[in-house]
Amino acid sequence: ADSGDADVELPSVRHQPEGLEQLLARTKFTKTELQSLYRGFKNECPSGLVDEETFTLIYSRFFPQGDASSYAHFLFDAFDADRNGALCFQDFAVGLSVLLRGTEQQKLRWTFDLYDVNKDGCVTKEDMLEILKAIYAMMGRCTEPALGTSAPAQHVELFFQKMDRNRGGVVTFEEFLAPCQEDKDIMSSMQIFHNVL
């Protein structure tokens, strides 16, 4: 048999049918939407798995005006729920479902997990600064007016003044949740970040 054909047939087609029913239960997508997402995913990633390098290349196409590589790294980690270094369609669909169709609290949880760089359940100023620097680098020339190099640090200070209510130097999910839900400025700021996803 020609091994070239085997490569094309193998990986993802096999687990897509049994995964479809599970994904319908785990996401807020319809069967048609999942099939359409799957076709797009399969088109970009014929093997059915995406490593971080490929994810970064694909994601960077959407932000040609800046450097998206750092932010893509954090996004990849956020989508890679099982931490195996590769995204399968299920990882992608579940994460996308939360971002597009999740409740406000689910979206905030996802955002908190994105900011929680070392996954210890707390966000530090350093964690948040890393993410914001990555966002500013990715946005590049499309921010109007152009933002100075101190903008990410100022943004972090503002967030922490509102969130770190016990002044412990770290923000837990509970500390993060309440101000986000109460403060219109924070919510609109969060919406901007969801828009760059």
| Sign of the Cα pseudo-torsion (170, 108, 129, 183, in order) | negative
- Verify that 163 and 177 share a domain, yes or no: yes
Tell me the per-residue pLDDT of 101-151, one tens digit each, with 9 for 90 and over. Answer: 998 899 899 989 999 998 899 999 999 999 988 988 888 766 555 556 678
Does residue 6 belong to any structural domain of this protein? no
Residues 107 and 77 in one domain: no
CATH number at residue 145: 1.10.238.10
**Last residue in a domain, options 43, 78, 102:** 102
Which of the residue ranges 7-16, 35-44, 56-65, 164-173 would you say has the lowest mean pLDDT? 7-16
Spell out the alpha helix ranges (H) of 80-182.
Answer: 89-101, 104-115, 125-139, 151-163, 173-182
Domain of 30, in residue numbers: 22-102
Region 163-188: what's the mean pLDDT?
83
If asked whether residues 98 and 110 sit together in one domain, one would say no
Residues 96 and 112 placed together within one structural domain of the fold: no
What is the separation of C-alpha 3 from the centre of its chain, rounded to a whole number of angstroms? 36
pTM: predicted TM-score of the whole model, two decimal places: 0.77
Asked if residue 191 is part of any domain, the answer here is yes
Q: Is residue 8 part of a domain?
A: no
- Whether residue 15 has pLDDT greater than 90: no
Listed residue (189, 197, 136, 134) closest to 163, CA to CA:
189
Comparing 1 with 69, the larger pLDDT belongs to 69
Examine the fold and report which residue of 66, 83, 102 is the final residue of a domain before the chain moves on: 102
Q: What is the number of structural domains in the chain?
A: 2
One domain for residues 71 and 31: yes
Whether residue 96 is found in the same domain as residue 108: no
* CA-based end-to-end distance of the chain: 42
User: With 80 as the cut, is the pLDDT of residue 95 above it?
Assistant: yes
Q: What percent of the chain has pLDDT over 70?
A: 79
